[in-house]
């Protein structure tokens, strides 16, 4: 064996590697030469052993480089195949998102009331039993409690904490946080244990109104409702109050508007009666004033509350309230 034989075997091996034979160090010319080491004179073996080892290392380095290149090429191909083009521009003019109909309605109602001199306040969506019921003159055994289909939380004493089923507890918080006179509206999300149908969602929105001042009368309440209904629906709509009962107001009423779809003649939307009930209202009950430390001999007030989602579907003639939360673009893009 000559040194030139080692060089030739290495070059042949490298050529085979280039040709794709990555197993050339297991089966190839350098392996053959290695098995012939024993034919050499004892004093030559170490030198040739070292030469063969160096040659194998050179070939191995090439094998490693090719294997790495192959793997990164495969990886790049895989990434390219899986690539999502998040900058893809769809044909046509760009479309922009906008506020939901519920939020637009809430903003519009706030504007109407701010224009009438009211401020806007908010309260928590998770309430205590005291703010939601007790302070509103609905004690523990009161039948009105069951009418609220409340969702209680597993927090503190049983039935002490709940998702608020109405915005009336914000009245309580407001009266505790500031002295009269108060002219405020309180919009927000409310929750009930309701099965959704065409006129109910388990999650919906209300706006609460509260006025506390000297000499406030039921006439002020009726006038305020008439005023905001006309501001929101336009001049052609009629309003009316019908006797009702709420524990936190006395006397109490429900307010209704003439049906915007049929103009009061009677249709499917108003179930043939020509009127649509929007919410409740009344003069603040003295017990509510007492609960928050306001003297009912000195101050009087009125409160009202109604569904934001509901007033929106009435104005726009929407037959099913559930579409408000569906995020169906065919509906959403109409507003």
Binding residues for ligand PHE, rule CB under 6 A, total 12
Say whether residue 305 binds ligand PHE (CB under 6 A): yes
Among 168, 239, 258, 300, binds ligand PHE (CB under 6 A): 168
Residue 159: CB minimum distance to ligand PHE, A: 19
Of residues 187 through 216, those in contact with ligand PHE by CB under 6 A are 208
- Identity of the residue, 29 or 247, whose beta carbon is nearer to ligand PHE in the bound complex: 247
Binding mask 87-116 for ligand PHE (x = CB under 6 A): ------------------------------
Residue 150 binding ligand PHE, by CB under 6 A: no
CA-CA distance, 162 to 128, in Å (whole number)?
A: 6
Question: Is residue 193 a contact partner of residue 149, using CB atoms and an 8 Å limit?
Answer: yes
Q: Rank residues 21 and 220 by Cβ distance to ligand PHE and give the closer one.
A: 220
Nearby residues of 8 by Cβ (< 8 Å), 6 or more positions away:
29
The residues near 283 (Cβ < 8 Å, ≥ 6 apart) are: 216, 218, 221, 249, 250, 251, 300, 301, 302
Strands 249-258 and 275-284: antiparallel
Nearest distance from C-beta of residue 246 to ligand PHE, angstroms: 4
Instruction: Using CB under 6 A, pick the residue from 166, 173, 192, 205 that binds ligand PHE.
Output: 166
247 sits near ligand PHE (criterion: CB under 6 A): no
> Rule CB under 6 A: is residue 304 a binding residue for ligand PHE?
yes
Distant-in-sequence, close-in-space partners of 68: CB < 8 Å, separation ≥ 6: none
Structure tokens at 215: 């000499």
211's tokens: 């006025």
Residue 226 token pair = 């008439």
- In terms of CB distance, is 113 or 246 closer to ligand PHE? 246
- Min dist CB 81 to ligand PHE, Å, is 56
Report the SS3 class of residue 228: helix
Site for ligand PHE in 248-287 (CB under 6 A): 249, 279-282
Verify binding: residue 169, ligand PHE, rule CB under 6 A: no
Q: Which residues bind ligand PHE (CB under 6 A)?
A: 166, 168, 208, 246, 249, 279-282, 303-305
């Amino acid at each position: 064996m000559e040194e030139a034989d080692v060089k030739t075997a290495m070059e042949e091996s490298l050529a085979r590697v280039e040709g794709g034979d990555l197993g050339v160090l297991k089966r190839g010319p350098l392996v053959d030469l290695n098995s012939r080491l024993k034919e050499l004179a004892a004093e030559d073996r170490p030198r040739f052993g070292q030469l063969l080892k160096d040659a194998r290392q050179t070939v191995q380095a090439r094998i490693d480089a090719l294997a790495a290149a192959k793997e990164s090429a495969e990886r790049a191909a895989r990434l390219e195949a899986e690539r999502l083009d998040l900058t893809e521009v769809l044909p046509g003019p760009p479309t922009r998102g906008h506020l939901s109909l519920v939020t637009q309605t809430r903003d519009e109602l706030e504007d109407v009331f701010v224009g009438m001199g009211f401020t806007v306040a908010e309260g928590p969506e998770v309430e205590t039993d005291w703010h939601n019921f007790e302070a509103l003159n609905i004690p523990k055994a009161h039948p009105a409690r069951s009418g609220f289909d409340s969702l209680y939380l597993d927090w503190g004493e049983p039935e002490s904490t709940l998702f608020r089923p109405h915005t009336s507890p914000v009245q309580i918080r407001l009266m505790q946080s500031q002295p009269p006179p108060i002219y405020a509206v309180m919009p927000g999300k409310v929750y009930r244990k309701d099965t959704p149908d065409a006129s109910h969602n388990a999650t919906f929105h209300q706006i609460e109104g509260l006025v506390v001042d000297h000499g406030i009368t039921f006439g002020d309440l009726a006038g305020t409702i008439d005023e905001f209904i006309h501001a929101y629906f336009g001049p052609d709509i009629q309003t009316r109050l019908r006797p009702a009962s709420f524990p936190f107001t006395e006397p109490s009423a429900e307010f209704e508007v003439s049906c915007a779809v049929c103009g009061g003649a009677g249709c499917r939307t108003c179930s043939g009666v020509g009127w649509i009930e929007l919410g409740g209202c009344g003069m603040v009950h003295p017990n509510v004033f007492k609960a928050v430390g306001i003297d009912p001999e000195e101050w009087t007030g009125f409160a009202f509350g109604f569904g934001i989602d509901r007033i929106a579907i009435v104005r726009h003639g929407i037959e099913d309230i559930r579409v408000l939360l569906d995020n169906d673009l065919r509906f959403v893009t109409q507003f």
